[in-house]
């Protein structure tokens, strides 16, 4: 798996929270990412319909799903309660970039393109802008690409966890650090397959095999 790490320089210091994030910031994002890898089930990407909220019930309030609507633009389709607390409103239907400061929105559109076009997984280290009744907040966001039922890469499972008091909302974030990982065309894991008899000419490809049962409790 190829990996690209991007650092954003702020004044004279290069900031990276990936090296010293509190445990509570990492735990939910890790749970969501592990679940995403689990439902890949030997394929390059999971489908949106594979996502069952019971699989991430401990992190559900921090999770969300976005839909790509144009190059560099994605909107929220489903959000946990933590996003509503951060923004002071229900952000369903709003663009993902609404969570970011104007200075970081152009960067974010680039990461959204990479998320779907790569496809790549995106991990972001964030800092909220501060001011009156807006104390310092650190956050981690992960974005994990999904296929729609039509097979195009146009959905993503995400998670954002913050450290610090929310204070006066809405809170918008600057991007301090990004970790982008290109997803290989080969499945993440491959099962051993017994050799087929020579008279058989057709076998199903792993990507053609869909789960026998999918559970869906939200989002059309």
Task: Give the per-residue SS3 of 47-116.
Answer: EHHHCCHHHHHHHHHHEEEEEEEECCEEEEEEECHHHHHHHCCCCCCCEHHHHECHHHHHHHHHHHHHHH
Q: How confident is the model at residue 129 (pLDDT cuts 50, 70, 90)?
A: confident
The CATH number linked to 50 is: 3.30.450.20
Residue 140 clears pLDDT 50, i.e. is over it: yes
- Better pLDDT: 167 or 18: 167
**β-strands 9-10, 173-182 pairing:** unpaired
Prior bond of 32 cis (ω within 30°): no
Q: Does a structural domain hold residue 197?
A: no
Dig out the tokens for 154 from the structure.
């146009």
Residue 220 located in a structural domain: no
Of the pLDDT bands very low, low, confident and very high (cuts 50, 70, 90), residue 78 is very high
% residues pLDDT > 90 (the chain): 63
Q: In the predicted model, is pLDDT for residue 56 greater than 60?
A: yes
Residue 163 falls inside a structural domain = yes
Position 198 pLDDT exceeds 70: no
Spatial distance between the Cα atoms of 155 and 49, rounded to a whole number of angstroms:
10
Residue range of the domain that includes 122: 3-186
Instruction: Confirm whether 63 is domain-assigned.
Output: yes
- Predicted pLDDT at 25: 54
Please give the average per-residue pLDDT across 135-151, as a whole number.
95
Q: Specify the pTM.
A: 0.73
Q: Which residue has the higher pLDDT, 8 or 43?
A: 43
- Residue 36 belongs to some domain of the structure: yes
Instruction: Flag whether 56 is in a domain.
Output: yes
Domain-embedded: residue 194: no
Is position 214 within any domain? no
Q: What is the pLDDT of residue 208?
A: 44
Query: Domains in the chain: how many in total?
Result: 1
Range 121-135 average pLDDT: 91
Provide mean pLDDT across the span 166-195. 72
């Amino acid at each position: 798996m190829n990996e690209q790490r991007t650092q954003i320089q702020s004044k004279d210091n290069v900031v990276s929270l990936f090296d010293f994030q509190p445990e509570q910031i990492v735990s939910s994002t890790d749970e969501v990412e592990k679940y995403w890898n689990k439902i890949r089930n030997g394929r390059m990407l999971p489908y949106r319909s594979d996502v069952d909220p019971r699989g991430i019930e401990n992190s559900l309030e921090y999770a969300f799903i976005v839909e790509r609507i144009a190059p560099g633009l994605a909107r929220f389709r489903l959000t946990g309660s933590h996003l509503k607390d951060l923004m002071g409103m229900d952000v369903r239907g709003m663009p993902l970039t609404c969570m970011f400061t104007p200075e970081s929105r152009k960067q974010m559109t680039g990461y959204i393109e990479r998320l779907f076009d790569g496809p790549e997984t995106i991990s972001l280290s964030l800092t909220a802008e501060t001011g009156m009744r807006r104390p310092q907040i650190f956050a981690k966001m992960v974005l994990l690409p999904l296929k729609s039922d039509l097979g195009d890469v146009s959905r993503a499972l995400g998670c954002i966890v913050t450290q610090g008091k929310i204070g006066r909302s809405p809170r918008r974030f600057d991007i301090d650090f990004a970790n982008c990982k290109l997803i290989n065309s080969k499945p993440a894991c491959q099962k051993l397959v017994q050799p087929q008899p020579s008279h058989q000419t057709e076998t199903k490809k792993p990507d053609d095999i869909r789960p026998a049962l999918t559970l869906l409790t939200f989002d059309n």
